[in-house]
Structure 1
Amino acid sequence: MGSECAIVGLGVTEQGVGLGLEGRELRAQAVDLALADAGLPRDAIDGYIRAYVDREDLRYMGLSPNFSVSMMTGGATPVFSIVAAMAMIEAGQAEVVACVYGEAQTAFASSGKQDIGSYGYGYPMLYGLLGAAATHAFHARRHMHLYGTTSRHLGAVAVTQRDYALKRPGTLGYGKPLTLAEHQASPMITDPFRRYDCTRNTDGGIAVLVTTAERARSLRNTPVYVLGAGTGHNIVNWHKGQVFENHDNIAPAKARAFQQAGMTVADIDMAQLYDPFTISPLMQLEAFGFVKEGQGGPLYAEGGAGPDGLIPTNTGGGQLSAYYSTGFTGIAEAVQQLRGEAGAGQLKKAETSLVSGHGMNAGVQNTWAHACMILGSNP
């Protein structure tokens, strides 16, 4: 893949709880911000991908692309949407594709109309297994059994990400420190997850504009190049009876992404990993090979995911402490870091980033989809 395509526009709306805006308004704002960021006119968008299940009202946005599609594979959808955008560009179907997310999740949750079935993961729902926290708890408990990982290790993940968010205006954790003692004292949600092990729903929109690397060089902002991408699916580990030992099926995704980029993990400056729960980035760092299996907890406890550590991870606070715009949270942070626009949270070295997405299932709990990208400030 190399650097055939690049992200040239980023639009991030206000992110928070109870913003009072509909999803389509958040998406429209995000698109407007991305166009302004890239210095492109509205009619430059000739492809549109919505990272969700519903159709898009293009009239409301004033868009007239060659295609408009919706995609849904949970939190892996944003990375998938960028891969799909690149494929459509390569196929000659578009030159500038908008990949967009925007939902008013807190308004939906407070309406009392939530579909309980959407929280089920296959037949175990019949026996009371509901919600993403309960299913991810299996990964955490299995990891604890195999490697001696503790609740304090999970707490180190939460504290590390809050420390990043402290410096970042607009995040939920801005100016709100979190200690390990506070993590340990927070209420149990589903064993072993406490409150601060879990993300919160937020409202907000994010849009990225993808185009060719050639066109990117003539636009306003510094391009962020897509150097490699890969996908995997944890259904294979379900068939093997090893689904809980594996947060995702990362091996094939990693192999493709790094082969395309011509890199190894030693070449990665930072990781922006999908983090619905504290166990998630911990297990992903192990699976990608930044540390050995079972060493993710000690890595966090010793500061290895902090700004001066082995692999700075979720440097804007991630979904745990920044905001939950599904897999776009990490993409947006990677773009800002690679452009040098992360303000007080800017890393000393930020030329390459690993980004991951994770979610949905293949008919039964914990059979998550996975997608990853390697982004770079240089082609």
Structure 2
Amino acid sequence: MAASCAIVGLGMTAQGIGLGIEARELRAQAVDLALQDAGLERDAIDGYIRCFVDREDLRYMGLSPNFSVSMMTGGATPAFSILSAMGMIMSGQAEMVACVYGEAHSNRAARGGQPIGAYGYGYPTLYGLMGAAATHAFHARRHMHRFGTSSEHLGAVAVTQREYAVNRPGTLGYGKPMTLAEHQASPLIADPFRRLDCTRDTDGGVALLVTTAERAKSLHAKPIYILGGGTGHNIGNWHTGAPFDNHDNIAPAKARAFKQAGMSIADIDMAQLYDPFTISPLMQLEAYGFVPEGQGGPFYAEGGARADGLIPTNTGGGQLSGYYTTGFTGIMESIIQLRGEAGAGQLSKASTALVSGHGMNAGVQNTWAHASLILGNTP
């Protein structure tokens, strides 16, 4: 599998709050931008994967693929869509698959619709447990209990990611620096999370074009190779009574991805990790082995995730300070860095990236799906 497929087109619309554009139009714009990036015409797309659910995209965009699939496993969906695209290509079902996301959360809120963050997760909803913040708070409190992690450590995650975003045009944090004191002064949302520990829903669209590594050589955009991928599911930790000790069941996802890539964590230049809340990248850095278990908080506080640290992490601001396109946020930032297109935020060493996706409970809180991707700018 290693480097058999590549991402050859990236289409990203404006990202933000209150764009005033409908979700389907955002997806259409993203597809057009991805085709332009790759130097392709519309009829080149012969496979279409819609991240989340919509049945009308093909008619609206005038596409005629061999297949159209809607896929939903929360914030892990984008990584799953890429792995699925590879499977369809390698099985001969398509040659150029579009993986597409686009949501207009502001429009939903303006119409009085339920915000996406109000989801309940299985039977605990009957007892008042609502929303992603409340469920992730279990991970944070458990980590605090076991290792002495503090609110200030969580704040260090938020401040680090804002430091990346403050110089990146188009992000929510652009030109808006944040201090640890400001983090600590922000109101509690779901103990121990403060407002600045939480991501914000944004409007935006993104499309990626996936094809074979061989075909990628002849296209316009610099190809980004998919070196490895893996999946895991935290329902296994639920069955053994330890779902809150583990942010996800990362071990099997990590093992498959790194085995396929023929790499170790020492070969990774940057981590772009799913970050709905500050506890998430902290625990994932531990689970992937960049940081000893329980030491994620001090690691962030000492600058380990900054551009000059051991492992630059969420270098575009992530979802906390960048924008929220579910798991596409980290994938897009990886592509931008691997292509050398990050401007003032470009890392000096950016040849490989670890990306994670996370989401969609299995009927009870904290039973998240997980996906790992290893991307590189050479096969």
TM-score (norm 2): 0.99
In structure 1, the residue matched to 2:199 is 199
Query: What residue identity is the alignment partner of 1:252?
Result: P
In structure 1, the residue matched to 2:303 is 303
In structure 2, the residue matched to 1:350 is 350
CA gap 1:56/1:79 in 2 versus in 1, 3 angstroms: farther
CA gap 1:24/1:216 in 2 versus in 1, 3 angstroms: same
Kept after mapping to 2: 8 A contact 1:304/1:311: yes
Q: Secondary structure at the match of 1:358?
A: strand
- Shift in Å, 1:115: 7.4
For structure 1, the 5+ residue unaligned runs are none
Q: Secondary structure at the match of 1:245?
A: coil
- Shift in Å, 1:118: 6.0
Say whether residues 1:332 and 2:323 are aligned partners.
no
Q: Secondary structure at the match of 1:10?
A: strand
Deviations 1:102-157 (A, max 9, x none): 01012112322217996111111111100000000000000000000000000000
Deviations 1:76-105 (A, max 9, x none): 000000000000000100000000000101
In structure 2, the residue matched to 1:41 is 41
Kept after mapping to 1: 8 A contact 2:117/2:132: no
Distance in structure 2 (CA, Å) of the matches to 1:41 and 1:155: 46
Aligned length: 379
Alignment of 1:54-93 (within 5 A): 54-93=54-93
Kept after mapping to 2: 8 A contact 1:56/1:68: no
Q: Secondary structure at the match of 1:299?
A: helix
Distance in structure 2 (CA, Å) of the matches to 1:195 and 1:278: 11
Distance in structure 2 (CA, Å) of the matches to 1:53 and 1:59: 15
Alignment of 1:113-152 (within 5 A): 113-114=113-114, 119-152=119-152
Distance in structure 2 (CA, Å) of the matches to 1:144 and 1:278: 13
For structure 2, the 5+ residue unaligned runs are none
Distance in structure 2 (CA, Å) of the matches to 1:116 and 1:285: 26
Query: What residue identity is the alignment partner of 1:217?
Result: K
Percent identity of equivalent pairs: 80
Say whether residues 1:375 and 2:368 are aligned partners.
no
Deviations 1:180-210 (A, max 9, x none): 0000000000100000000001000000000
Distance in structure 2 (CA, Å) of the matches to 1:304 and 1:349: 15
In structure 2, the residue matched to 1:50 is 50
Kept after mapping to 2: 8 A contact 1:50/1:56: no
Kept after mapping to 1: 8 A contact 2:271/2:313: yes
In structure 2, the residue matched to 1:323 is 323
- Shift in Å, 1:367: 0.2
Tell me whether 217-226 or 131-140 shows the greater mean CA deviation: 217-226
In structure 2, the residue matched to 1:268 is 268
RMSD: 1.0
Distance in structure 2 (CA, Å) of the matches to 1:54 and 1:36: 24
Kept after mapping to 1: 8 A contact 2:89/2:95: yes
Kept after mapping to 1: 8 A contact 2:109/2:115: no
CA gap 1:281/1:115 in 2 versus in 1, 3 angstroms: closer
Say whether residues 1:186 and 2:186 are aligned partners.
yes
Q: Secondary structure at the match of 1:136?
A: helix
Kept after mapping to 2: 8 A contact 1:163/1:177: yes
Distance in structure 2 (CA, Å) of the matches to 1:62 and 1:339: 30
Query: What residue identity is the alignment partner of 2:325?
Result: S
Q: Secondary structure at the match of 2:92?
A: coil
